[in-house]
Amino acid sequence: MIVHLSALAVLASSFLVSAEFVNETQINAASSSSPTLYNSPQCELEMTKFDDINILFSDGVDIDPSCIEQNETPFSIDCFCDFAYLTKKTRESCEHAGGDLYNLKIDQECSVEISDFGAYTINILRVNGYICLGVSCEVQNLLRKLKEEELGDTSNSCSLSLTAEYIQSQI
């Protein structure tokens, strides 16, 4: 029942960007002219350097082993996904590769109606999804892209909270 996302998770130090989204209708109206992740040719060029270390953006990455189901009831389920192990290489390599490290947290709640059963709520919390962005890239564009991907395949009854926290340089 876990809804997949190609990139994800939380923590860190000084710069915090967040966004709250309520439903698909609101998202589509707000995102019809939103920019892509690569908001400039410079950003696009920089991001090619991080293809090998941005694990969460890799095709075919299996995020399910990082997720566990908790607190299942007849009317709801809570899922917790910790991507710390999966994104360890990103966390360790980003700064030396010349990028800016961010930690994503994605909190999603969806209510679905199951025939002959009733309402069912799915809560998914994804943490420690480290990503590396080029220094000219804007993290807000990434949040918009993730929002579109995450809510684009779901019903109108989902809410989504995204947080990207900048990790201060260790060098």
- For 33, the token pair is 């002219």
pLDDT of 153 reads 58
Q: For every one of its 171 residues, what pLDDT tens digit does the chain have, with 9 covering 90 and above?
A: 333 223 222 222 223 454 444 333 222 223 333 334 557 889 989 999 998 899 988 888 888 889 999 989 989 999 999 999 999 999 999 999 999 999 999 999 998 888 888 889 999 999 999 999 999 999 998 888 888 877 665 555 788 899 999 998 766
> The whole model's pTM is what?
0.73
Categorise residue 168: left if φ over 0, alpha if ψ from -120 to 50, beta otherwise: beta
CA distance 170 to 150: 32
